[in-house]
Each structure stands twice: as C-alpha cells, then as structure tokens.
Amino acid sequence: MVERTVATQQTQQVAPTAEGTRERERYVAPPVDIYETPEGLVVMADLPGVSKDDLEVRVDNHVLTIRGRARPAVQADPIYREYELVNFFRQFELTEKIDESRITAELKHGVLTLHLPKAEEAKPRKIEVKVA
C-alpha cells in the first residue's frame, strides 16, 4: 500500500473549486496507523468530529479514499472558539495483494478502522515436504 500524498498532516490545504459555485473547502490528512497481520492490513485513522453520515470510504481503480466532514457536536453559533473543525481527506494506492472486495470499515469514537484482507494468492502458505 502506497500513500498518495494530497495534503500533509501539519498543513491545511485548500481544495480547488469551480469558480463561484461553492465555498472553498479546507481539509487535512488524518493521522493513521497501519498494522500488518497474517490476514492483511489494519488501517486506523483519527477522524474527530466525523459521524458515519459524513464519512465516505471508497476504492476506485485500486485507490482507497477516506473523506470525512467534521461537524460540531452542538448545533449553535459559537460565542468563543479556539479551533475550527476541518474536513479530512487521504488516499492510498492499493496493490494487487489486497482483496478489495472484502475491505471492511468501522467508525467508533472518532477512529476509523479499516480491515484490508490479503488476497488468497498473497497469503503465506506452508508447503508440505514429502519423504521419498
């Protein structure tokens, strides 16, 4: 799996938009941890303020895309604000060793956990040795 860099964690980027059609969106790349297990990869992404309804996870042309819109927990105009919620966007290029049809996702307490199972032909297997 190779990350397709669109934005860095430390800086906010401004997404290009069609001129005059909508407000420019700001986004950051969510921090992720990636683990390899015998069954595949586990990707954990921090998405604070993102609900299931505002989250899109998709695979298209071997590219895994995570896109989330953070919304405030309280639906009111703030009288004091120290931080502004931003949108999240990150992409990873998948290899043929990942079984894209079996990818699963779970969002819990602002953490997205993706399970990317290895394709059967990519899994290690033990070869039986026969005695002649």
Give residue 41's domain range. Answer: 2-6+24-122
DSSP reduced 3-state for 101: helix
The count of structural domains within the chain is 1
Decide if 28 is inside a domain.
yes
Quick check: helix, strand or coil at residue 53?
strand
Question: In this structure, what token pair is assigned to residue 105?
Answer: 């996702």
Residue type, position 121, single letter: E
**What is the overall mean pLDDT for the chain?**
84
Name the residue with higher pLDDT: 85 or 115.
115
| Model pTM score | 0.74
pLDDT digits over 4-16, tens only?
544 333 344 555 5
Contact call for residues 31 and 47 (beta carbons, < 8 A): no
Q: What is the pLDDT of residues 54-93, one digit of tens each?
A: 999 999 999 999 999 998 878 888 899 887 888 999 999 9
Tokens of 80: 């004091």
